[in-house]
Structure 1
Amino acid sequence: MRLASSRPLTRSYWLQSLEENLQPTLPLEGEYNADVAIVGGGFVGLWTALTLKERDPDINVVVLEQDICGGGASGRNGGFVMSWWPKIGSLLSFCTKEQALFLAHAAECAIGELGEFCEQHQIDAHYACKGWFWTATTPAHIDSWNSTLAMCARLGVELFIRVSQEEVARATGSDVHLAGVYERSNATVQPGALVRGMRDVALKAGIRIFEQTPVTTIDPGKSVRLTSIKGHVNATSVVLASNAWAALVPELSKLIVPVNSSIVITEPISEKLKKMGWTGQESITDSQLMVDYYRTTRDGRIAFGKGTGALAYNSQINSTFSEHAQSIELTEADFRRTYPELASTQLTNAWSGPIDRTYDSLPVFGTLSGSQNIHYGIGWSGNGVGPSRLGGRILASLALGSLDEWSTCPLVGRNCKTFSPEPFRYLGGTLVRNAVIRKERAEMSGIRPSAIDRMLAGLAPAGLEDKA
């Protein structure tokens, strides 16, 4: 089984701002034995490692990361710490009511747990629990949230608060926002600082982390052998926590498709933000399928992202997932549309990153066929900062062979709609993506999209929220 792929070419603003503290650990050299080997040093891999150590302080855990911890998706996202309540309909499609409530409540609790973790370990990850506005920025998207709110109401859960056009425009600093709902439990972090803080906690706990150590092959067996450039690890159990790179494993490639998302960062504009009234630190999304997501930063910048959805042929992680010019242009265009009064504001940083998208935008866990000790957790679909805490618990239970509420939860071994093989995946995915772009541009302009674009866009996987 081969895993190595090209690495991202540029660092995100989040990691660049920590540059003086980004010295990697030494890469793996020679032979090393472990109880559990984890491939991937992002949020999922580190939470798994930390959970294993919590449950068994004597366990020998090693993390193998091809770049630096956080160099992949974990250090390149928008820093939104969200729950799974917007996905309650998707959860109910394969869970019982009790199971769906368990997972949704657990994901909500993980947001507060993250803040407590940062406080306990004195990690300055800029954690701010200020809530989330889910908005409509065109008349076609007003009330996109109604089915989710109705589903929550049937479950006896009241989380979302409807806000008027005046309220949402005032809170977001832009009258482009026509309507919205507010959910108070969501938070934001500086994701680069969080993942590097987690790395430090893991090292202090005795977890061995080898950065700049791409895993080139995995040989299954009672003792799994992982090969890197200059060394090997022999492990009783293996966890694949490699996000979009998991698409290089044939069995997993049908479950996920790597797509990109892009972010632009402004120069510091604290005084302008005060004049706009955007001072509450809430996170904001619109209701496009290629969602816009944005928030302010501690140093008075705007981080504005867009799920731009570009693919690479054969799921190769190439420059599409680091410096994709068209995606960055789409993102800047939406930023300028949302905040036209900031036309003269300069952008200081821009990058793209990978998302391991499943059809319903919820993760899937399991064990590779023909193996009892190679486990995976993939498909975070752009919402992994908070739920990865649960992923760590699920994967730790799988690696330890524990029969508990995590290893038996419905996310494990679930039947997912699969993606087509190449070349249909790339050609079809690009066709659908272009239709989505045309459809949403038309809606933003107040024009009814063509029937063919509406039809093709309907074939796209679900986004951050359930489809209306």
Structure 2
Amino acid sequence: MNLSYWEMKSWLTNVDFTIVGSGIVGLNCALSLKSRFPKANILILERGILPQGASTKNAGFACFGSLSEVLEDLKTHSEQDVLDLVKKRVEGLNLLRQILGDGAIDYHQLGGYELFTKSNASLFEACISNQKAINTLLFPIFKAQIFHLKDNTFHFKKINNRVIFNPFEGQLDTGRMMAALLRKAQTEGIKILNNVSVEAFSEDRNAVKVKTHLFTFSTSKLLIATNGFASTLNIKEVHPARAQVLITTPIKNFHIKGTFHMDRGYYYFRNIDDRILFGGGRHLDFKTEETMEFEETERIQNTLEDLLKTVIIPGVPFEIEHRWSGIMGIGQQKKAIVKALGDHVYCGVRLGGMGVAIGSLVGQELAGLLD
């Protein structure tokens, strides 16, 4: 692609900081850098028309882990590691709300519910037997008992008569959140180029040469915030994980409000505009879902529909209006990777499906790596 003199001069010359990815992490990183270095020339490169990956495709859960998820994490992480994970998620959500305001992101703290199928009584029993210990573990963060037993008052079928309630969980409008972040970045004079894929980069003593599928240019510092696509830039600790979602048309006399988790968080649904947004099922086929392709599969979509019909809203007529998928970044550990990759290259990736919760914090931490 042959760029004009004006294009090169205005967008790709004397670039101080280039950020790869205009999602939650990338935009917060740019805003933090602009606050610290007001005169800096900051450029964000985005592979999609809109922020690609998961930032505009997530379910809008302002959450930090259900009881069964916390128990699952304790199998591979220490108690201190799990405590730190939850603390960062809470701090990240508070930071996001502080930066944008609850009105701008349509935030509502309606509480979160964990459901257990009657066929999975062992998981329910494990959660109940560990409820007190987990509440004690997390008490320093919330200064309250976080997980409580409640009756199943939502008329769910094939579900245990008791559910686990968490009053601190909330929900937000993902589209409004990202639109507000983009407006804030543009107001600060941060440049964003969409439909530009970074293919490679190389360092010399004073700068980084960045090769995209359209052009090559130099930048003083390069910050990678691509999360699920991090492996394309040789960050091997991160693997892509696709999450599939569907949403219904508006449902008459809709009564379900809150955020809901099933099967260790692998299924999740919520209310939005008198509809049900339902996602998950990655555990049905881990291998196929370790992909960067934005597609939906019959197996997972059919399972989500069947659960809607038989468990969540049995006997209630509904239609599926839309289906989509997003790409998360996961790894063997859930702690995000925020580190230097060279003298002038840094990364903030592997958000582990908690991008809404920790993305703002990771973005600030990524910017903080620069002196």
TM-aligned CA distance change 1:190 to 1:135, over 3 Å: same
Equivalent pair of 1:237/1:374 in contact (CA under 8 Å) = yes
**Counterpart secondary structure, 1:44:** helix
Partner of 1:417: none
Letter in structure 2 aligned against 1:162: H
Residue by residue over 1:119-164, the C-alpha shift from the partner in whole angstroms, topping out at 9 and shown as x without a partner, is: 38x63x3221222112322323214435475144146444423223
**Counterpart secondary structure, 1:74:** coil
Deviation of the 1:391 alpha carbon: 0.5
Partner of 2:258: 282
CA distance in 1, matches of 2:74, 2:147: 21
Bigger strand share: 2
Deviation of the 1:199 alpha carbon: 0.7
Partner residue of 2:350 out of 370, 373, 379 = 379
Equivalent pair of 1:258/1:355 in contact (CA under 8 Å) = yes
Equivalent pair of 1:259/1:354 in contact (CA under 8 Å) = yes
TM-aligned CA distance change 1:232 to 1:249, over 3 Å: closer
Deviation of the 1:365 alpha carbon: 2.2
TM-aligned CA distance change 1:358 to 1:180, over 3 Å: farther
TM-aligned CA distance change 1:57 to 1:343, over 3 Å: same
**Counterpart secondary structure, 1:150:** helix
Letter in structure 2 aligned against 1:127: Y
Residue by residue over 1:153-180, the C-alpha shift from the partner in whole angstroms, topping out at 9 and shown as x without a partner, is: 146444423223x2xx21x442443233
**Counterpart secondary structure, 1:235:** strand
Unaligned runs of 5+ in 2: 1-5
Partner of 2:240: 258
Deviation of the 1:288 alpha carbon: 4.0
Equivalent pair of 1:111/1:187 in contact (CA under 8 Å) = no
Check if 1:134 corresponds to 2:114. Answer: yes
Deviation of the 1:248 alpha carbon: 1.8
Partner residue of 2:179 out of 188, 191, 196 = 196
CA distance in 2, matches of 1:316, 1:364: 20
TM-aligned CA distance change 1:142 to 1:199, over 3 Å: same
TM-aligned CA distance change 1:181 to 1:325, over 3 Å: same
Deviation of the 1:334 alpha carbon: 2.4
Question: RCO higher in 1 or 2 (8 Å CA, sep ≥ 6)?
Answer: 2
**Counterpart secondary structure, 1:387:** helix
RMSD: 3.0
Check if 1:303 corresponds to 2:305. Answer: no
Equivalent pair of 2:63/2:170 in contact (CA under 8 Å) = yes
TM-score, normalising length: structure 2: 0.84
TM-aligned CA distance change 1:220 to 1:44, over 3 Å: same
**Counterpart secondary structure, 1:259:** strand
Check if 1:388 corresponds to 2:359. Answer: yes
TM-aligned CA distance change 1:218 to 1:129, over 3 Å: same
TM-score, normalising length: structure 1: 0.68
Check if 1:163 corresponds to 2:163. Answer: no
Partner of 2:3: none
Check if 1:46 corresponds to 2:27. Answer: yes
**Counterpart secondary structure, 1:160:** coil
Partner of 2:322: 349
Partner residue of 1:334 out of 307, 311, 334 = 307
**Counterpart secondary structure, 1:45:** helix
- Map 1:190-269; keep pairs closer than 5 Å: 190-221=173-204, 222-250=206-234, 252-253=235-236, 255-269=237-251
Equivalent pair of 1:70/1:192 in contact (CA under 8 Å) = no
**Counterpart secondary structure, 1:375:** strand
Deviation of the 1:340 alpha carbon: 4.6
Unaligned runs of 5+ in 1: 1-27, 402-468
Check if 1:104 corresponds to 2:86. Answer: yes
TM-aligned CA distance change 1:43 to 1:384, over 3 Å: same
Check if 1:367 corresponds to 2:349. Answer: no
